[in-house]
Amino acid sequence: MSYTNLLLATENGTTTITINRPKKLNALNKETIQELHEAFKNADKDPNTKVIIVTGSGEKAFVAGADISEFASFSVENGGKLAAEGQALLFDFVAHLSTPVIAAINGFALGGGLELAMACHFRMASTNAKMGLPEVSLGVIPGYGGTQRLPQLVGKGRAMEMIMTAGMIDANQALDYGLVNHVVALEELLPLCQKIASKIQRNSSVAISKAIKAINANYKEGVNGFETEIKQFGDCFGTNDFKEGTTAFLEKRKANFPGS
Ligand code: COA
């Protein structure tokens, strides 16, 4: 499948999705959100894809936000619909994908850009990265999960300050806040993400998808994460990956997981 606003490459079990609107700092217009939905869905279904990396093209931006030109004239109803559709198609969709998703933040990650990075399972940043939720400076609030995921990741007080000031933090502050896991030079960002992706690939993809479900359960209202963990743990015992993993350990050899 070919995309207008994305570049895709699959190599060594990792699919890299590059958002490619550099002249607009990779801002998320409607078409790009729809294309990202398709690309994530296809990569998740692809048996050759064990890990997904998402990044932005160019050296300036991961994603500079939702495309402001598209929603500037929206009504109350359109605004609500924009957030609901975006969350369902992209942000919640990515957060609940069974394939691990790493955000490689290679520059500005603002508004919907930071919300996309926060929906990913974890984040890495280059030293030039800048992150923020500037929506209140435009008279709106974050609508793609930012008011929920930022406090989960950095704590309520820091999230309140970031959202109220509409300010940006640099990569080192994001590292200090726990918003990103590692900070490296721009040219080292994708190689480091690929190195981590290859470590992930050595493990059982079935167990990883169950771990994602159990971890996400902690953030769902009305769901007991411990109970989800018990259920997912038990289910592992019926998988071929579990048989292979334990057998390989006892036979003192490397596991070769079938992924089922
Ligand atoms: N939506 C639509 N277009 C955007 C955009 C966005 N979120 N962010 C950047 N662009 C466009 C600019 O309009 C400009 O387009 P033009 O060349 O056709 O005028 C182009 O991308 C380059 O951006 P520019 O502002 O000239 O770059 P800069 O280096 O001076 O500033 C930023 C970079 C990121 C500080 C600035 O672009 C910005 O503040 N963007 C909006 C961030 C934001 O509020 N995001 C949240 C949206 S809810």
Q: What is the pTM of this model?
A: 0.98
Phi, psi of 203 (to 5 degrees): -100, 175
Tell me the per-residue pLDDT of 188-220, one tens digit each, with 9 for 90 and over: 999 999 999 999 999 999 999 999 999 999 998
Tell me the per-residue pLDDT of 48-76, one tens digit each, with 9 for 90 and over: 999 999 999 999 999 999 999 999 999 99
What is 6-201's CATH topology?
A: 2-enoyl-CoA Hydratase; Chain A, domain 1 (3.90.226)
Quote the pLDDT of residue 1. Answer: 77
Domain boundaries, the chain: 6-201, 205-250
| Ligand 1 pocket: which of 19, 25, 140 to mutate (most atoms within 8 A of CB) | 25
Three-state helix/strand/coil letters over 116-146: HHHHCCEEEEECCCEEECCHHHHCCCCCCCH
Nearest-angstrom CA–CA distance, 134 and 114: 10
Mean pLDDT of 135-158: 98
Alpha-carbon separation of residue 179 from 144, 150, 153, 201 (angstroms) = 17, 8, 6, 23
| Start-end of H helices in 1-155 | 30-45, 68-71, 76-86, 92-95, 112-119, 146-154
Mean pLDDT of 170-185: 98
Task: Check if 35 is active-site.
Answer: no
Cα-to-centroid distance, 237 and ligand 1 (Å): 50
Mean pLDDT of 225-242: 98
Q: Which of 135, 187, 229, 244 is catalytic?
A: 135
Compute the mean pLDDT over every residue in the chain, rounded to the nearest whole number: 97
Nearest CA to 201 out of 162, 160, 158, 256 is that of 256
Nearest-angstrom CA–CA distance, 144 and 255: 39
Determine what percent of the chain is predicted with pLDDT higher than 90: 98
**239: DSSP letter:** S
